[in-house]
């Protein structure tokens, strides 16, 4: 079995962060979102992986992710020259996929748990497609499935005004080679894209075997700031292990599950987990509260924050009012004068400089 992982798109919902980089490379708990999916695929035994990239961000994805050695995989990069839909991504990946069954994984999604049960059901029942479903409170924002009492999928609708159920399609799909025949028979949607929901519906219309797997854990499509912060919280909550590799002086306190990277110095500060701090950071006279991730080469002085993500190389000085629910981009610089409100909330893109006076 092979896999394709989608890492294209323009990430418009995460701007300004994605003006300068791929949304799939935004770090959650100091690891690119894309890498969680790659690790999940390899853990399930799938090591021949194609990554769909775009002209705008493909080089960055290649540079950071590499040839797959770090994951124990072999990665092939496949250029999608325009955002023409998920089924179009499968179509251009057909030379790589050949006649192999495969997993399609959306690279900006995070899914709790192992892929092994999905693969087992797909193989055991000799399916043409297996889709992963999750009950959501706002099904009009997603592709939605209608499932009969035998677990067979009978209808799919893309972002319906009147949803047939509350079961949204999660960004993980399993397909037999018959999906290529189905894609060849569909037309672009009203928005000019080849929709994967239309392709799966074509399989159903052709009386192919399409079943659903109901996700029991959490799932996040990390397309917006609050989704990123929630993903960061969940990963820190469920996967973080305490590890101290940097220097913590005698005036500092480290409480709970905290990971501190090599070369990082903690001076006269309190770190209350769950928190992860990268390598070569300087943190002085600070309070770092729960569910915060601080990437490599960050400087924080006279600053309080919690439930926030600080990306690589950011420099933040003099924020005595607590920063909460914030995502601050790479190399951003933030300084503030003493008299400020009690809380500040930001979404700051890469290379910004902000002075609050």
DSSP 33: H
- What's the rounded Cα separation, in Å, for the pair 293 and 161? 38
Query: How many CB atoms neighbour CB 181 within 10 A?
Result: 15
The pLDDT of residue 341 is 58
Task: Give bridge partners of residue 213 from the DSSP assignment.
Answer: 132
Measured CA to CA, the distance from residue 254 to residue 262 in angstroms comes to: 16
Average pLDDT on 302-313 reads: 94
- Indicate if the pLDDT at residue 275 is higher than 50: yes
| Prediction pTM value | 0.88
Q: Report residue 138's pLDDT band, with 50, 70 and 90 as the boundaries.
A: confident
Task: Tell me the average pLDDT across 167-171.
Answer: 89
CATH of domain 2-235: 3.90.550.10
Contact 335, 317 (CB under 8 A): yes
Across 66-75, 219-228, 319-328, which has the greatest mean pLDDT? 66-75
Average pLDDT, the chain: 89
- 3-class state of residue 83 by DSSP: coil
What proportion of the chain, given as a percentage, has pLDDT over 70?
92
At 149-161, the pLDDT tens digits run 877 888 888 888 8
Contacts of 41 (CB under 8 A, 6+ apart): 3, 5, 47, 49, 73, 103, 105, 115
Tell me what the mean pLDDT of segment 71-88 comes to.
Answer: 94
- What's the mean pLDDT in 183-204? 92
Say if residue 11's pLDDT is above 50: no
Q: Which long-range contacts (CB under 8 A, 24 or more apart) does 139-148 make?
A: 139/163, 139/165, 139/166, 139/167, 139/168, 141/168, 142/168, 142/169, 143/168, 143/169, 143/196, 143/197, 144/168, 144/169, 145/169, 145/212, 147/212
Q: What distance in Å separates the CA atoms of residue 165 and residue 337, rounded to the nearest whole number?
A: 52
Instruction: Give me the residue spans of the domains in the chain.
Output: 2-235, 242-356
Fold of the domain built from segment(s) 242-356: UDP N-Acetylglucosamine Acyltransferase; domain 1 (2.160.10)
Quote the CA–CA distance of 312 and 295 in Å, as a whole number: 5
Whether residue 107 has pLDDT greater than 60: yes
Q: What percent of the chain has pLDDT over 90?
A: 64
Tens of pLDDT, residue by residue over 209-226, are 999 998 888 888 777 788
- Cα–Cα distance measured from residue 14 to residue 57, given in angstroms and rounded to the nearest whole number: 14
Pick the closest to residue 30 from 245, 294, 262 (CA basis). Answer: 294
Residue 19 has pLDDT above 80, yes or no: no
Q: Do domains 2-235 and 242-356 have the same CATH topology?
A: no
How would residue 24 be classed by pLDDT, with cut points 50, 70 and 90? Answer: confident
By C-alpha distance, which of 62, 349, 9 is closest to 171?
Answer: 9
Range among 8-17, 174-183, 327-336 rated most confident: 174-183
**DSSP string for 257-304:** SEEE-TT-EEES-EEESSEEE-SS-EEES-EE-SSEEE-TT-EEES-E
Mean pLDDT (whole number) for 89-94: 96
- 167: tokens are 């079961």
Task: Quote the crossing angle between the two packed helices 58-65 and 33-43, to the nearest 10°.
Answer: 50
The residue to which tokens 């049960």 are assigned: 117
């Amino acid at each position: 079995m092979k896999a394709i992982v989608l890492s294209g798109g323009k990430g418009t919902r995460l701007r300004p962060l994605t003006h300068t980089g791929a949304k799939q490379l935004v770090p959650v708990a100091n690891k690119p979102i894309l890498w969680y999916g790659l690790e999940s695929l390899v853990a399930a035994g799938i090591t021949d992986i194609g990554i769909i990239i775009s002209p705008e961000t493909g080089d960055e994805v290649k540079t950071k992710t590499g040839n797959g050695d770090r994951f124990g995989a072999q990665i092939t990069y496949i250029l999608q020259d325009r955002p023409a839909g998920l089924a179009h991504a499968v179509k251009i990946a057909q030379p790589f996929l050949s006649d192999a069954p495969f997993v399609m994984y959306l690279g900006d999604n995070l899914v709790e748990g192992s892929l092994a049960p999905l693969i087992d059901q797909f193989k055991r029942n000799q399916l043409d497609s297996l889709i992963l479903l999750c009950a959501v409170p706002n099904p009009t924002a997603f592709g939605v499935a209608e499932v009969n009492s035998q677990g067979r999928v009978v209808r799919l609708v893309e972002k319906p005004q009147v949803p047939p159920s509350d079961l949204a399609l999660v960004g993980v799909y399993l397909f037999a080679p018959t999906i290529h025949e189905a894609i060849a028979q569909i037309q672009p949607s009203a928005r000019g894209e080849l929709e994967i929901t239309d392709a799966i519906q074509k399989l159903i219309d052709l009386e192919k075997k399409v079943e659903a797997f109901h996700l029991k854990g959490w799932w996040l499509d990390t397309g917006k700031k609050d989704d990123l912060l929630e993903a960061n919280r969940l990963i820190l909550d469920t996967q973080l292990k305490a590890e101290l590799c940097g220097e913590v002086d005698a005036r500092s306190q480290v409480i709970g599950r905290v990971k501190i990277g090599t070369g990082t110095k903690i001076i006269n500060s309190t770190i209350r987990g769950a928190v992860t701090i990268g390598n070569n950071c300087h943190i002085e006279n600070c309070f770092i509260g729960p569910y915060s991730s601080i990437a490599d080469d960050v400087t924080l002085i006279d600053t309080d924050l919690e439930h926030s993500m600080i990306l690589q190389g950011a420099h933040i000085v003099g924020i005595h009012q607590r920063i909460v629910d914030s995502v601050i981009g790479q190399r951003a610089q933030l300084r503030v004068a003493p008299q400020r409100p009690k809380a500040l909330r930001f979404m700051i893109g890469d290379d910004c400089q902000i002075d609050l006076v």
